[in-house]
Amino acid sequence: MEYLAVVEFCFADRPSGAGRVAWDIATAMRLRGHSVTILCYLANNEMPEGVELMDGIRVVRFRKSERPSWHPARLRAIRDATAAACRTWLGDRRFDVVHVHSPIQGVGVLAGLGRRPRYVYTAHSPVVLEQDIIWRSQGWTGVLKLLLGRGLLASVERRMLEASAAIHALSEFTRSELERAYRVGQRVSVIPHWYTPRGPRLGKPEARRALGWPQDAKIFFTVRGMGPRYGLDVAIRALGPLTQESDCHFYLGGDGQLRPELEALAATFRRAGSLDERIHFMGRISDEQLETTYAAADLFILPTLALECFGLITIEAMSFGCPVLGTDAAAIPESLAPILPEFIVPAGDVAALQSRARQFLQGSLSVPGRQTLIDYAGGRYGEATVVPELLRLFEPSV
C-alpha cells in the first residue's frame, strides 16, 4: 500500500503534538510493510525543498506560501502551493491512502491528487477553535484576522471532512466539537494516541543524578510550548509561593513567544536574600532527556487553559510513574479522571492549583503507586491496544 501523511511540519524539524502523532502512525505503517511518504512544509527557509529518506520514510518538504497572515488570499495561496508540491514531488506515485493532519494542506492535496485515494482526516483540534485562541491573543490585528478568516477556515475544514472516508479524533471532546460545528454523525472514530517509552525507566535517584537535580527536594515539572493557551503563567503564580515556603522546585521544559514574560514573572518568586533559583527554564529538551525528567519529577503540571484535545504528555508522564496535576480544560479529564480524580482543578484558577499542589506536598492526596500509573498508561494507551484500532482506518480489512 502507498500511504501519504500530510502534516504541517515533520516532527524531527519542529516538534509538536500533531507532528508526533503523524510520525508515530507513519512509522507504524512502515513497520506493517507499507510504502510511506510524509508531505510537510519546510521548517525554515534555509532548508532545501525535495525528498529525504528518514528511517525508511520519504519526507517531502515544500515551501509554504509567504503571503502575510492577514492577507485574504492566504488560504488559497497555501492550497495552491500544496497542490503544486503534489504535482512536482508526488506525481510519480499513486497513493492508496492519504492521511491528513492539517486541513488547509489537505484541501491542497485534494486539488493536486484528486479524489481517487482514500482520505482519512485526523482532527487534532477543530481548526477554527484553535485559530480563535491564537487570533484573540494578537490584539486588533488578531480581531481583523478573526473577522476575515473564521468563515474561510470553517469552509476549509468542512470540505476536508466531507472528502474523508474516515474521520479520526483523539478524544470525545474533539468528536463532540466536530459534531457541534459540522454535524459529522457516526463517521468519527475516537481513538487516542499511544506512548511506548523509548529508553529504560530510570529510578528517581538515578534520573536526578543524570539531570543534576537535587535529590531530596520535591520537584514539579512541565513541558509546554510557551504560548497563550497553555497556562504557564497560572502555574508559576500558583507554584512560585510554594517554592518560597517549602523545599521544592519547578522545572519548565520548552520554549516559545511568552518565555521572556514567564521568566520575568518567575524572577518575582526568588527567595529574598538568596541567589538560589527555584523556578528553572530548561529550554527545548530531547525525547531522551524528556523521559529522564518524567522519571525524576514528583508531579507533572498540566495548567492548560483551553483546547487540550488529547494531552499526550499526560500519558507520557504516567508511563514513567509520574502523577499529573491538570485542569478541567477540554479532554484532560478523559485521561485523568479514571486514575487521578483528585488531581483535576478548574482551568485558570491559581488558588485551586496552588491548594492542590500544597496538598500533594503535605501528603494529603491519595496518589496511586508508580507501577499503578505505569500499568494504567500502558494498558489503556499502550501500543498493543491503540495501534490495531488505528490500522482499521487505513487497512479496512484488518
CA distances from 274 to 262, 271, 277, 281 (A): 20, 5, 8, 18
The CA-based angle 69-122-306, given to 5 degrees, is: 60
Cβ partners under 8 Å of residue 96, min gap 6: 1, 2, 3, 117, 118
What pLDDT is attached to residue 390?
Answer: 94
Supply the DSSP symbol for 65: P
pLDDT of residue 140 exceeding 90, the answer is no
Do 186 and 214 belong to one domain? no
Do 172 and 226 belong to one domain? no
Instruction: Note whether residue 356 is domain-resident.
Output: yes
Convert the pLDDT of each residue in 94-131 to its tens digit. Answer: 999 999 999 999 999 999 999 999 999 999 988 777 77
What pLDDT is attached to residue 70?
Answer: 60
What pLDDT is attached to residue 148?
Answer: 67
Do 212 and 178 belong to one domain? no
Instruction: Note whether residue 277 is domain-resident.
Output: yes
Domain CATH for 126: 3.40.50.2000
Q: Which residues of 2-23 are buried (b: 16+ CB within 10 A; e: fewer)?
A: ebbbbbbbbbebebebbbbbbb
Is 105 exposed, middle or buried (CB count within 10 Å of its CB: 0-12, 13-18, 19+)?
buried
Quote the cell numbers at residue 12.
Answer: 524531527
pLDDT > 90: percent of the chain: 80
What pLDDT is attached to residue 135?
Answer: 65
Quote the cell numbers at residue 70.
Answer: 492577514
pLDDT > 70: percent of the chain: 93
How would residue 19 be classed by pLDDT, with cut points 50, 70 and 90?
A: very high
Q: Which of 314, 299, 323, 302 is nearest to 371 (CA)?
A: 323
Tell me the C-alpha distance between 226 and 220, whole Å: 17
Instruction: Note whether residue 199 is domain-resident.
Output: no
Neighbouring-strand partners of residue 220: 250, 299
| HSE-CB of 14 using CA atoms within 13 angstroms | 13
Q: Model-level pTM?
A: 0.92
Instruction: Note whether residue 81 is domain-resident.
Output: yes
pLDDT of residue 306 exceeding 60, the answer is yes
Q: What is the mean pLDDT of residues 244-254?
A: 95
Residue-averaged pLDDT of the chain: 92
Q: Give me the domain span that covers residue 14.
A: 2-194+383-394
Do 306 and 290 belong to one domain? yes
DSSP result, 277-329: --EEEEES--HHHHHHHHHH-SEEEE---S--SS-HHHHHHHHTT--EEEE-S
Query: What is the H or E stretch that residue 188 is in?
Result: strand 188-190
What pLDDT is attached to residue 185?
Answer: 85
Convert the pLDDT of each residue in 267-295 to its tens digit. Answer: 999 876 555 789 999 999 998 999 999 99
How would residue 75 be classed by pLDDT, with cut points 50, 70 and 90?
A: confident
Q: Which of 85, 87, 95, 101 is nearest to 115 (CA)?
A: 95
How would residue 354 be classed by pLDDT, with cut points 50, 70 and 90?
A: very high
- The answer to whether residues 289 and 316 touch, using CB atoms and an 8 Å cutoff, is no
Helix, strand counts (H, E) of the chain? 15, 14
CA distances from 345 to 232, 348, 360, 394 (A): 14, 9, 13, 37
Q: Which residue has the higher pLDDT, 325 or 68?
A: 325
Q: What is the mean pLDDT of residues 232-255?
A: 96
Do 277 and 235 belong to one domain? yes
Do 7 and 118 belong to one domain? yes
Do 364 and 271 belong to one domain? yes
pLDDT of residue 90 exceeding 90, the answer is yes
Do 375 and 389 belong to one domain? no
What pLDDT is attached to residue 320?
Answer: 97
Do 16 and 76 belong to one domain? yes
Do 226 and 138 belong to one domain? no
Q: What is the mean pLDDT of residues 51-56?
A: 97
Tell me the C-alpha distance between 24 and 18, whole Å: 10
Do 98 and 118 belong to one domain? yes
Convert the pLDDT of each residue in 314-335 to its tens digit. Answer: 999 999 999 999 999 999 999 9
Quote the cell numbers at residue 247.
Answer: 523545599
pLDDT of residue 173 exceeding 60, the answer is yes
What pLDDT is attached to residue 132?
Answer: 76
The dihedral sign for the CA sequence 16, 21, 24, 27 = negative
How would residue 143 be classed by pLDDT, with cut points 50, 70 and 90?
A: low
How would residue 339 be classed by pLDDT, with cut points 50, 70 and 90?
A: very high
Q: What is the mean pLDDT of residues 187-216?
A: 95
Do 106 and 220 belong to one domain? no
Supply the DSSP symbol for 63: P
Q: How far apart are the first and last CA of the chain?
A: 13
CA distances from 128 to 21, 109, 123, 134, 225 (A): 20, 20, 11, 10, 19
The dihedral sign for the CA sequence 172, 173, 176, 178 = negative
Q: What is the mean pLDDT of residues 378-394?
A: 95
Instruction: Note whether residue 149 is domain-resident.
Output: yes
Domain count across the chain: 2
